Amino acid sequence: MLLLTCPYCGVSAEETEFHGGGEAHLKRHADGSSDDAFTAYLFERKNPKGIVFERWRHVYGCGKWFHAARCAVTLEVFGTYSAQTLKPPKSIITSIKAKRPDWEEIS
Amino acid sequence: MSFRLPNAGCLIDRSNPVSFTFNGKPVQGYKGDTLASALMAADQRMLGRSFKYHRPRGLVASGGEEPNALMNMGEGARFEPNQRATTTEVFDGLTARSQNHWPSLNFDIGALNNRLARFFPAGFYYKTFMKPQWAWKHLFEPIIRNSAGLGQVPTERDVDRYEYFYAYTDILIIGGGVAGLEAALESGRSGAKVLLLEQSPHFGGRFMVDDIEVDGRDGPAHIAHLLAEIAKLPNVTLRARTQGAGVFDHGYALGYERLTDHAPAATPRHRLWRIRAKRIITATGALERTLNFAGNDIPGVMLASAVRDYIRLYGVTSGARTVVVTNNDDAYRTALTLYAAGLEVPAIIDARPNGGGEMSDQARALGIRIETGHGVAKVIGKKHVTAVEVCLQSGTGGAVESIACDCVAISGGFSPVVHLWSHCGGKLNWDEENAMFSPDPSRPPTDQNGEGFVLAAGTASGALGTNACISTAVTAAHQAADEVGRSIKEEAAPRLTQTPDETPMAPIWTMPAQAPYKLRSKTWLDFQNDVKVSDVQLAAREGYESVEHTKRYTTLGMATDQGKLSNINGLAVLAGALDAEIPQVGTTTFRPPYTPISLGSIAGEASGPLFKPTRKTAIDGWHKSHGAIFEPVADWRRAYAYIQAGETTQDAITREILATRGAVGLFDASTLGKIIVKGPDAGKFLDLLYTNMMSTLKPGKCRYGLMCNENGFLMDDGVVARLDEDTFLCHTTTGGSDRIHAHMEEWLQTEWWDLEVFTANLTEQFTQIVVAGPNARKVLEALGGTDVSREALPFMGFIDGKLAGIQARIFRISFSGELSYEIAVPASQGLLLWNLLLQAGADFGIAPYGTEALHVMRGEKGFVVVGDESDGTVTPHDLGMSWAVSKKKEDFIGKRGMQRSFLMAAGRKQLVGLRTLSDTEKLPESAHAVEGGKAIGHVTSTYFSPTLGHPIAMALINGGQSRMGEVLDFPVGSKVHKARVVDLVFYDKEGAQQDV
């Protein structure tokens, strides 16, 4: 059971206080998008064996959605940050690179 | 025979006898005995039958690793199967029964399987029960289910209580042997908060049994010293009878405390400790392995360490004449212990060509015969051991000599208990010298900071000798204390230990080395699941190269003991058969819990009425006292119908509908979700959420809306009221209130965070009461306070005002098709308004109606219910609600999804009405329409309509809209129901009734 820190209210809490919401930074495809782009948006996920960017909601707390960067293999958490961003902030990338110099962000 | 020794037994209190029953027969033991030791003292050597072949089985071990001695324990509401005799403490009144035999333990019909063993090789299920296909369901499965099992299934509800306990600690130590206690004392001196869990009732582990000297003290005295020192540290907590059951992410661990299993009391029976620790030290010791020779499962063949445990801890012996068989020095301790207890040791059979070290010299000096380079060809005996046939270890099992004995103490070396290290991803190394897997400290499980959070200590770390055992514990304690920010300033003086020199063990995986099939097919690896050396070799021959596949094919290690004794032996045999190295074959995955824990402890307090709270409306008490029967809707309970004296449920529903259609009905709609959406962009936001346009709604007006998910499938519906320019009130379904609020927040926070909108879920703040029927207006006018005329409050409008002095919001919306008002008042006023409406309506024939009457009336009107007519694969178009899907809006959730070709294709299921050809025969719920042998759709709702006097139904049918007038078949069982496809709206299609 993971420990995560909500970047909005600052509370560090057990996983049971949060609710996972799958991959972060998906680009929404709506009216006018191609079938392929729309299908990819709905169903295709990166699911890397390694560092993942995830959506979480502090559902039994402040109710806010946020993002977490963590390693799905070692369970290391590199940080949590606002959900209101299109890509991980520099500070998160820096803290990942500091520990995993070879890591490359999957586009 | 097995019996109690005149003295010895440091855990039992001979002045305190205890009586219990085994298979109905009274047995005496002492306080401190386990059920296993007390039965051993009573010369009860056979304790059960094996799973597959029903072979006689006795004790093998002395702890939680015991595979055989499983009992049906207790009676009635406290009955529990598969309880280990070795971990059950006896108390007055305990009842235990042996398992897996019929009619009795001594004479078991199922033992016939043993005779037929060569017809039941590994995987015989998969090979035997393939054909004919019908036979699986009707012949094989019933027989297998009947004969499978071990313990019996409890038939009564558990009367015991269980609870959770939350603990936060710097350092959690699992295991209360010498390593755990040394680590607790050392880390405790740093001031860190330390919690130590020990699964058995006493501390000390092997130090209570083995002749070890530390700092001039013997084993038990050293343990007493450690406990006394730890007692001085208020920051260290010790907990006995508490198993460290599992290690999980980020330092989370489960402890399983058994509070009353040894002494029935009114307190909770088990307590599940939910622990967060910054560091975890696993000091879980090691388990002895069995040796693989023919007949090694016959009662009387036991682990050498267990033989020693029973003598030293409980003063009982498994036999009077014990042959010791070993591949290492530790078993010599057992020979010396037996000798010291005045028991005969006719021989020590040591498979190593050159025998053992210092202890072997001691044994020889005492006159004990030692045969090196020898092994056991087979054990003689049926229900217990009578002799062993000794052979050359290097040969094929030609017996050199038969030695009479009633006990065989075996030792195949030790395996560190690496389970808790491995639960959360700790990796293992293969230790060639000791032929065992041990934790690799460079690859520990990691926490949120990427740092290892589990440290192995003592024999659990692979340090088998006493010196190494203690020093690894001290090292682990220092490291853990450092890492939690509490360094230990004073170095404790190293312990001085006195232990005999030992000669390395020799890996012996089959005995004798060239054992032929005849012997291998009687050589047990897994005692509980009856897996033999020949089974694993067969699996290898049949291509099961992966250890995980072999496990599942043979069931090796799949029983309730999870292969604690058998796994390494099984791996070694598999590696041998595949001609591979053991580390290449690898281990199966270690999963929590370490030994089975009760389901009650996992449930904790969450059982019975506490399992899930029921949501009740403000009027619930009135419903209950007026004959309501309830139905669960989401977490709510709602009045289904109000039964009057002499009525059946159907009578009541019919009466309620006719009263509403003919006069006026009263309905508690408080459970509907009520979400306020407010802000300058509220209209824009709702245009994105709903399929139809909401921003054009005028203040004071209501509009019915649909919500879809991104796939374009319907997820909720409800009436939206615009309270003012910036404020909307969104009604949701009863089940949708929390979900839809969360849905709104998700989109607002994660996609359209630029919109200036707030949402608030006010579902429980308001009571909402429906007054519906031709007399509805008269009832409201009788209450007075607000003009509710057609002119002042037209259909699909709402008004804020007072009714009988209560501040109310009155909506003109209708789900019944009648003239209908929905009145929302603060929840605190809900019951008052309900009673006032009943009083005022008395002269107008008012009657409360329940959810079933509501459903029938909406069915008559052809209104859909989300979750009945839709199931997560249905679009608004499928439901004939294209009118509610905007063509003007650029975007809304589900717009693009609905445009996908297969959702636009012809032939999709469409919602239609059904009229049965018979006026008395209602279509069964969910019946399938069948055409040309293929299912073409299904019934979504089916009722008898009292208004119309015949049954009605709705169904999703392939291309339904183009089938109007067709008669469809609905075969159910042997009967075929016939119904005509008709328009969805059965009653008042023009809507004249509701718009008056």
B149 has pLDDT over 70? no
The confidence band for B586, taking pLDDT boundaries of 50, 70 and 90, is: confident
Closest to B349 measured CA to CA, from B291, B300, B297: B291
Burial class, B78, CB count within 10 angstroms (exposed 0-12 / middle 13-18 / buried 19+)? middle
What angle is formed at CA B908 by the lines to CA B906 and CA B911, rounded to 5 degrees? 120
Choosing among B275, B896, B900, which should be mutated to test the A contact, i.e. which has the most A CBs within 10 A?
Answer: B896
The confidence band for B252, taking pLDDT boundaries of 50, 70 and 90, is: very high
Q: What integer pLDDT is reported at residue B786 of this predicted model?
A: 97
Residue ranges of domains in chain B, CATH in brackets: 16-112 (3.10.20.440), 164-286+416-491 (3.50.50.60), 290-412 (3.50.50.60), 523-585 (1.10.10.1100), 621-670+765-856 (3.30.1360.120), 673-763 (3.30.70.1400), 906-996 (2.40.30.110)
State residue B401 phi and psi, 5-degree precision. -165, 150
- Bridge partner residues of B935 (DSSP): B930
In percent, the amount of chain B with pLDDT more than 90 equals 88
pTM of the predicted model over 0.90: yes
Contact B58, B131 (CB under 8 A): no
- Name the residue with higher pLDDT: B399 or B967: B967
B109 has pLDDT over 90? no
Residue B698 Cα, gap to closest chain A Cα (Å): 27
B731: helix, strand or coil: strand
Residue A71 Cα, gap to closest chain B Cα (Å): 9
- Name the residue with higher pLDDT: B399 or B791: B791
Task: Choose among B250, B425, B749: nearest Cβ to A83.
Answer: B749
Q: How far apart are CA B979 and CA B969, in angstroms?
A: 7
Q: What integer pLDDT is reported at residue B112 of this predicted model?
A: 75
**Contact criterion met (CB < 8 Å) for B742 and A59:** yes
Name the helix (H) or strand (E) containing B80: strand B80-84
Residue B456 Cα, gap to closest chain A Cα (Å): 18
The number of C-beta contacts closer than 8 angstroms across A and B is 72
Residue B830 Cα, gap to closest chain A Cα (Å): 29
Query: Residue range A9-34: average pLDDT?
Result: 96
Chain B hits for A59, Cβ within 8 Å: 742
Residue B863 Cα, gap to closest chain A Cα (Å): 29
B182: helix, strand or coil: helix
B361 has pLDDT over 80? yes
**Contact criterion met (CB < 8 Å) for B250 and A76:** no
Residue B205 Cα, gap to closest chain A Cα (Å): 31
Q: Quick check: A36 contacting B, CB < 8 Å?
A: no
For chain B positions 894-923, those within 8 Å of chain A (CB to CB) are 895-897, 899-901
Query: Residue range A59-76: average pLDDT?
Result: 97
Q: How far apart are CA B978 and CA B939, in angstroms?
A: 12
DSSP state for residue B139 in the 8-state scheme: I
A42 has pLDDT over 70? yes
- Which pair of structure tokens corresponds to residue B960? 């339904």
The confidence band for B145, taking pLDDT boundaries of 50, 70 and 90, is: low
CA A85 to chain centre: 11
**Contact criterion met (CB < 8 Å) for B425 and A74:** yes
Q: What integer pLDDT is reported at residue B123 of this predicted model?
A: 74
In angstroms, what CA-CA distances link B749 with A66, B744, B746? 9, 9, 5
B133 has pLDDT over 80? no
- Between B430-444, B558-572, B895-909, the lowest mean confidence (pLDDT) is in B558-572
Q: What integer pLDDT is reported at residue B120 of this predicted model?
A: 72
Choosing among A28, A34, A60, A73, which should be mutated to test the B contact, i.e. which has the most B CBs within 10 A?
Answer: A28
Name the helix (H) or strand (E) containing B27: strand B25-31
**Which residue in this structure is represented by tokens 């060809």?**
B377
Q: What integer pLDDT is reported at residue B374 of this predicted model?
A: 97
The confidence band for B433, taking pLDDT boundaries of 50, 70 and 90, is: very high
Helix axes B547-554, B567-578, angle to 10 degrees: 110
Query: Residue range B878-891: average pLDDT?
Result: 96
CA B273 to chain centre: 16
For chain B positions 275-294, those within 8 Å of chain A (CB to CB) are 276
State residue B839 phi and psi, 5-degree precision. -65, -50
**Contact criterion met (CB < 8 Å) for B449 and A76:** yes
Closest to B875 measured CA to CA, from B895, B890, B855, B861: B895
The confidence band for A23, taking pLDDT boundaries of 50, 70 and 90, is: very high
Choosing among B164, B250, B710, B713, which should be mutated to test the A contact, i.e. which has the most A CBs within 10 A?
Answer: B250
Q: Quick check: A35 contacting B, CB < 8 Å?
A: yes
Closest to B525 measured CA to CA, from B286, B288, B289, B287: B289
Q: How far apart are CA B779 and CA B679, in angstroms?
A: 36
Q: Nearest chain A residue to B246 by CA: give it.
A: A1
Q: Domains of chain A: which residue ranges?
A: 3-99
What architecture (CATH level 2) is domain A3-99? Answer: 2-Layer Sandwich (3.30)
Contacts of B41 (CB under 8 A, 6+ apart): B2, B3, B4, B29, B33, B314, B316
Contact A25, A87 (CB under 8 A): yes
Q: How far apart are CA B860 and CA B987, in angstroms?
A: 5
The confidence band for B367, taking pLDDT boundaries of 50, 70 and 90, is: very high
Contact B9, B314 (CB under 8 A): yes
The confidence band for A107, taking pLDDT boundaries of 50, 70 and 90, is: low
- Name the residue with higher pLDDT: B134 or B457: B457
B685 has pLDDT over 90? yes
- Bridge partner residues of A65 (DSSP): A57
Q: Quick check: B739 contacting A, CB < 8 Å?
A: no
Q: What integer pLDDT is reported at residue B805 of this predicted model?
A: 96
Closest to B671 measured CA to CA, from B701, B639, B649: B639
- Bridge partner residues of B800 (DSSP): B809
Query: Residue range B797-823: average pLDDT?
Result: 97
- Which pair of structure tokens corresponds to residue A22? 């799958």
SS (H, E, C) A8-76: CCCCEEEHHHCEEEEECCCCCCCCCCCHHHHHHHHHCCCCCCCEEEEEEECCCCCCCEEEEEEECCCCC
Q: What integer pLDDT is reported at residue B127 of this predicted model?
A: 72
Strands (E), B283-339: 286-288, 301-303, 316-317, 322-326
Q: How far apart are CA B875 and CA B881, in angstroms?
A: 9
Q: Nearest chain B residue to A21 by CA: give it.
A: B746
Chain B hits for A32, Cβ within 8 Å: 896
Residue B598 Cα, gap to closest chain A Cα (Å): 20
The confidence band for B148, taking pLDDT boundaries of 50, 70 and 90, is: low
**Contact criterion met (CB < 8 Å) for A57 and B890:** no
Q: What integer pLDDT is reported at residue B146 of this predicted model?
A: 63
Query: Residue range B534-551: average pLDDT?
Result: 92
Strands (E), B581-713: 628-633, 636-642, 664-668, 673-678, 702-708
Q: What integer pLDDT is reported at residue B106 of this predicted model?
A: 83
Q: What integer pLDDT is reported at residue B969 of this predicted model?
A: 98
How large is the C-alpha radius of gyration of chain B? Answer: 37
